[in-house]
């Protein structure tokens, strides 16, 4: 009996041990998968980054642009090989771009913390095959040009915006506090509508915005002017070139631009006043000619420099919504004045242009053998040792631009846009600049009259077709007119190879460009 009992107890113990071991080997139930959750706090397209309380949105667009008789993004042929109408110019210019944006937002006790980035992956053709132009694409001033990077299989990434926003502050590369919401695009595709400010590609800045309620706000900021907000400062003791332009003699970055705006943004539209202060400081009185502008020599430090001048600009902007012509139609306008801050009038998404256009050549509509000139500067100076008064004379500029935007139906829309810009030099600056030009262009005061004042007017129309949501085809035509202050006939000279040495008649110039675009937003 004892034996039977022992066997039974042993068997039970064995079964219990086996069942325990088998239970231990059973698979453990997996944790629930954390699926991406929609974040509705900041609008459509945001989602929570798994495991965090941060919302993210990834977006952007893919855009294909082609311009006929102009540069990329409908840049008029107003200088360079295109302005000359010579056979080195690419008369058709295209760019393929994918813009990628990453927007993150986190709610905190101080408000929303936001980061934003836009990078543009793009490829375009060179725009010129002129060996002189290609050699100038790489310089200490301009860095490595996109024209060099756009080889077969090449391209590059352009960084537009990279910034952090926190408690009303913005830190990083973004539109200036001076800018309107539409920057340089009241209704156009072109990145070259003059007449006002445009920092759509961003500048390094720090800014603070205060909201007062009922759509009223004020923003103040400090902008880095070195990359974007400087047009040349000419030292006229350095010889000008055959294109009438002097040598840039700006000094280093010593003070940021102080900028700001006051804005009313309501259902009827928007009104904004903006202001900016800009430092114009030269390097030295004694400089030499270089490929990237005026360069120092061994006499530079001993020669001294002109006193620094303070320039600035103001802008008034107006948007009128809900006009009677149709739902979604609006009018956008802005008017600007600048002194020593010319980029805020003669502004593009790239550098401010100076103008040299020939007539009677392909794509240009002035008379044969004619020439139009317009020099864009923040100021000029001629040192005392070279016969001048040694002071910086700030350039004055005025601008006006705007657009009427009309929706025909949900699929078709049209915008009519235009601008008018003026650049003015004081009497001393005129005399000193014209004396410098006369050393290159003979006949001043005899066969021609020198006046560096000029104005530029533009008029364009664009029509868009959106057959499905977020896919738009558009065509834009723009006329650009240069009204030069020079008159008469030059002596024998060439405005630069490959043009011949001959007499040229100063005359107003015109050009027309056509841009076609297809864009898919996502």
Residues 82-88: what's their mean pLDDT? 93
How does pLDDT run across 205-235, given as a tens digit for each residue?
A: 999 999 999 999 999 999 999 988 999 999 9
Q: Is 163 exposed, middle or buried (0-12, 13-18, 19+ CB in 10 A)?
A: buried
- CA-to-CA distance for 331 and 459, rounded, in angstroms? 15
The pLDDT score that the predictor gives to residue 290 is: 79
The pLDDT score that the predictor gives to residue 140 is: 37
The pLDDT score that the predictor gives to residue 34 is: 61
Domain ranges of the chain: 68-94+186-198+210-521
- Closest by CA to 513, choosing from 351, 399, 364, 357, is 364
Helix (H, G, I), strand (E, B) or coil at 427: helix
How does pLDDT run across 442-471, given as a tens digit for each residue?
A: 999 999 999 999 999 999 999 999 999 999
Kindly give the pairing relationship between strand 169-174 and strand 203-213: antiparallel
Residues 336-341: what's their mean pLDDT? 98
pTM for this model (two decimals)? 0.89
* Backbone φ and ψ of 175, nearest 5°: -60, 145
Helix (H, G, I), strand (E, B) or coil at 474: strand
The pLDDT score that the predictor gives to residue 73 is: 92
DSSP string, 267-331: TTEEEEEEEEEEEE-B--SSEEEETTEEEE-TTHHHH--PPPEEEEEEEEEEEEES-TTSTT-EE
The pLDDT score that the predictor gives to residue 4 is: 41
The pLDDT score that the predictor gives to residue 16 is: 41
The pLDDT score that the predictor gives to residue 152 is: 72
Predicted confidence (pLDDT) at residue 24 exceeds the cutoff of 80: no
Sign of CA dihedral 230, 179, 171, 309: positive
How does pLDDT run across 163-211, given as a tens digit for each residue?
A: 999 999 999 999 999 999 999 999 999 999 999 999 999 999 999 999 9
Predicted confidence (pLDDT) at residue 476 exceeds the cutoff of 60: yes
Band of the pLDDT at 151, cuts 50, 70, 90? Answer: low
- Closest by CA to 37, choosing from 54, 16, 60, 17, is 54
The pLDDT score that the predictor gives to residue 289 is: 87
């Amino acid at each position: 009996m004892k034996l039977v009992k022992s066997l039974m107890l042993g068997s039970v113990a064995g079964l219990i041990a086996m069942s325990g071991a088998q239970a231990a080997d059973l698979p453990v139930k997996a944790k629930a998968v954390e699926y991406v959750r929609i974040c509705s706090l900041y609008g459509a397209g945001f989602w929570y980054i798994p495991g965090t309380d941060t919302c993210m949105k990834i977006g952007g667009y893919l855009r294909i642009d082609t311009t006929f008789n102009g540069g990329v993004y409908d840049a008029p042929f107003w200088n360079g090989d295109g302005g000359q109408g010579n056979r080195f110019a690419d008369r058709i210019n295209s760019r393929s771009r994918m813009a990628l944006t990453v927007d993150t937002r986190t709610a905190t006790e101080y408000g929303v913390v936001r980061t934003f980035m836009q990078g543009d992956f793009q490829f375009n053709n060179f725009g010129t095959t002129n060996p002189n132009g290609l050699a100038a694409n790489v310089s200490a001033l301009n860095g490595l040009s996109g024209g060099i990077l756009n080889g077969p299989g090449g391209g590059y990434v352009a960084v537009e915006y990279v910034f952090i926003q926190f408690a009303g502050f913005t830190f990083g590369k973004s539109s200036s506090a001076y800018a309107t919401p539409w920057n340089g695009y009241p209704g156009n595709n072109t990145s070259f509508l003059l007449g006002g400010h445009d920092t759509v590609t961003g500048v390094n800045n720090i800014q603070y915005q205060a909201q007062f309620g009922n759509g009223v706000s004020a923003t103040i900021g400090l902008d880095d002017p070195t990359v974007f907000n400087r047009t040349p400062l000419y030292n006229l003791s350095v010889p000008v070139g055959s294109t009438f332009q002097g040598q840039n003699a700006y000094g280093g970055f010593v003070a940021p631009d102080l900028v700001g705006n006051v804005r009313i943004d309501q259902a009827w539209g928007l009104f904004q006043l903006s202001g900016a202060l800009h430092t114009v400081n030269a390097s030295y009185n004694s400089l030499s000619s270089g490929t990237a502008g005026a360069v120092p020599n061994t006499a530079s430090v001993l020669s001294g420099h002109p006193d620094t001048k303070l320039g600035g600009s103001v802008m008034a902007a107006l948007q009128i919504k809900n006009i009677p012509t149709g739902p979604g139609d609006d009018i956008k306008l802005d008017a600007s004045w600048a002194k020593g801050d010319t980029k805020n009038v003669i502004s593009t998404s790239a550098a401010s242009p100076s103008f040299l256009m020939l007539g009677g050549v392909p794509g240009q509509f002035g008379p044969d053998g004619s020439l139009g000139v317009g020099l864009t500067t923040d100021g000029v100076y001629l040192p005392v040792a070279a016969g001048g008064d040694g002071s910086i004379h700030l350039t004055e500029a005025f601008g006006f631009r705007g657009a009427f935007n009309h929706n025909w139906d949900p699929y078709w829309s049209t915008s009519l846009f235009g601008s008018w810009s003026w650049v003015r030099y004081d009497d001393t600056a005129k005399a000193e600049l014209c004396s410098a030009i006369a050393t290159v262009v003979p006949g001043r005061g005899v066969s021609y009259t020198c006046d560096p004042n000029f104005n530029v007017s533009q008029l364009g129309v664009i029509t868009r077709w959106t057959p499905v949501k977020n896919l738009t085809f558009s065509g834009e035509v723009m006329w650009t007119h240069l009204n030069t202050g020079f008159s008469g006939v030059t002596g024998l000279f060439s405005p630069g190879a490959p043009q011949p040495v001959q007499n040229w008649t100063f005359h107003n110039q015109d050009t027309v460009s056509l841009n076609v675009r297809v864009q898919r937003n996502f």
